[in-house]
Structure 1
Amino acid sequence: MRIPILYPLQPPCSPLPSQPGICLPARPNRSLGSPLWLFQLRLTLSLNSAGFALRINGSCLPEQVDCGATVNPFRVCCPGGTQCPHAYNVVCCPSEANCTSTLLESPRCADRGWDLYDNEGYFCCDKDTTGFARLGNSDGCAVPGYSFHEDDKLLSVVLSAEGMISQASPSPTGPSMSTSSGITPGFSATMAPISTPTLDTESQEETNDRGHVAGSIVGGIVGVGIISGLVWFFITRRNKSKELDEDSDSSPQPEVLEGHVVEADGDRPPVELGANEKQTAPVELPSEPLGRERVNGLLGLVSIGSHRLFLEVRGIVRTLGEPLVVFLMGAGDVAASYRAIERLISPFTSLVLYDRSGLGRSDDGPRPPSAATAAEELHQLLLVADLHPPLLLVGHSYGGIIAREYLDAYPESVAGMVLADASTERQPELFRNPDLDIPAVLGDLRFAQVTGLRDAARLSRDEWRTRAAHIARGSTTERAEGLAAVEVCQSLARKNQYHSCAMGDRPLSVICCRGVDDYRRIYEAGIRAGNGTESQRIAFRDLLERWEAMNDEMQRDQLQLSGVHRYVSLPDCGHHIHLIRPDVLAQEIQWVRERIELSQERGKI
């Protein structure tokens, strides 16, 4: 058996007796004089100078570092001797390295003379000013005598200048105007997240969702590519934390169409049988199988030779021939986004979550990112970790293109597939207008709030923050994925997978979401805010008019990949199905698993 080579995250790790070669976190070495201890001490001392930045309506002091503008005309200031990591000017760090994720674990201001506030995103005000929020979730620092608007809301100090936690709410008398929106120029994490989702640490998350601002339904692929030369926003936002009941059945049931594709001469479109029959009820998810051992949280950095990728293996222990569910995330997205779906499917299947090269907790790769490279590196990761086929690939957004590249390179390894609002080779057709500039229309509004993503996401507040922090680490790679978008689509198109029915009779589920609703909300909110030029608004309207019909067509095109398929239309769900409707995604995974097992019984797989 090949032993996986895993390296620790921080702190170092020790092997599990029951899992040779598997490394889990261990206590750090605190012995005096240890090189590790000295390193940790130096790191701790350096991080003491890190913290969230000051917002000011005016100029920074001569001894401060001017980190640039947030929303015009407001600026961000850091103490002298600190730096503003490129595109992350809401924080002050000891070096150019982004220290946001560390600060989210222990939030504080970079100067002890500032008060820390949290309006779904941390920021600092001088102790003589008061933090406030206004309708639309913009926020800032008010000087004494500032005349508040009736919709303004005074914020409580999270950490005072003296370092004491404050519980009292400030009195609405007096304060400043250093208003700034929760958005600051920067790169997108999904790119959008963000969703993110979608930085949301939520701030970072919006970063990700920002890229989605250009791509949502397209997974930020071509959309992100088209807007890659525009300003990417690092958003210091977070919406109200809201854990939704995973068992809630208040959402309308998806429309499900099942059929068997009959391939004609290859030039005619496949015939979808049973499309007009009674809609099929969703698959019932099984309870945890009796007598099945659960995987004990295998996770760590796995070397694939050139660099390391972060890997998690969850769910039940596999039996021989049982499909392994592998999730392929959208552009810039990370494993931490998939906690809700993991909870639903881990009782009945084994699953893999991982971060692609340069994203989340993984190392940067030696090659520029592309879907084909991602597929190759995933294959190597599974080999090294001794995770064998058959595989059930679940591709969301850009991850759908990676799944199909994997199918092309390793066809015998793929037993089935779920394509969840996946990007396709036709994505450039959707974002064809050169005047299209979604971030310009979005302006200083926040994607996750305008679209309702944060409220709808079935993640806890801590899960949302963790996701956002991981997304923020990969902004450079996310942008690189966006720049390669058109080439990636063209490369996939050359493989003619529809014509060849590349999956044969292996089961395929295609899920179509209504990402257009996300962008319609963005357009309407942007117009109300007066954002964008007339040509940009016209281009946006053109996109909205074409989106629904064209996306449905592109999603249905994918049914040609397999002779055994199922099409699910979700009228109540935006692009981020794994965050909003993980129950539907879980049902489709189970539907594909059942058909894989049936085919195995018949000797077809």
Structure 2
Amino acid sequence: MTDIQGFAIRRNNSCLSDEVGCGKTWDDWHACCPHGSYCPGSRISIPNNVCCPSWTDCTADIDPPKCANNTWNMYNYTGSFCCMSDQTGFMFKGTDWVGCLDPDSPGNASYSALRVISSATSTASATSTAALTSTANTEATTTASASATPGPSSNSSSHTNTGAIAGGVVGGVVGVAAIAALLFFFMRRSRKQQPQTQPQGLGQYPQYGYGGKPLSPPSELDSHPVPAELMSTVGPKHELPGSH
């Protein structure tokens, strides 16, 4: 026995070579089931064509409704049926006939398109979303666990960062102090090299005298600066006689 069970697909002209045929539904349309399954509608009269694990009608067991192949899209019009994922299900107006149109089919004015009930694409998308959500939850749990229980490597990294920051601060302070010392040295040296000028006209004499009064510059003695000669009455000296 097989575990395949679900609603049959509709194909125009005939079923595929590896499928189980359920017979014609109307005109050239056939109901088909996957290989390995059974189509009890080909032997007994049932309201709709279903694919079952055995010849027993399994319609009541298909809950929720689904296609016999999970790559098919499912439609419903007076009963569920399936089409290929790139086809569109339709109903023939005024009847209970249904079929599947290819994307490039010209269609027919009597055909009315039906809404997809379930599709392989939406199912796969839901599965992928669930997988992504599960992965995200796992990563969040791992991250929270790692944050709550830091290992030795975290402490080591913290100490290393603190030491690096402290070293950088000390180095910066020392550098600023060295620059300030160099600036002070060059400014002081520049001041020492500047010549010290004295007020003109004073020379080496102080500017102020006793009592804070300014001193006048030195001058010659009274109006006779040159010493006078001795009086003319005084004759020249004579040497003593040689007898002395």
TM-score w.r.t. structure 1 length? 0.19
**Higher radius of gyration, 1 or 2:** 2
TM-score, scaled to structure 2: 0.45
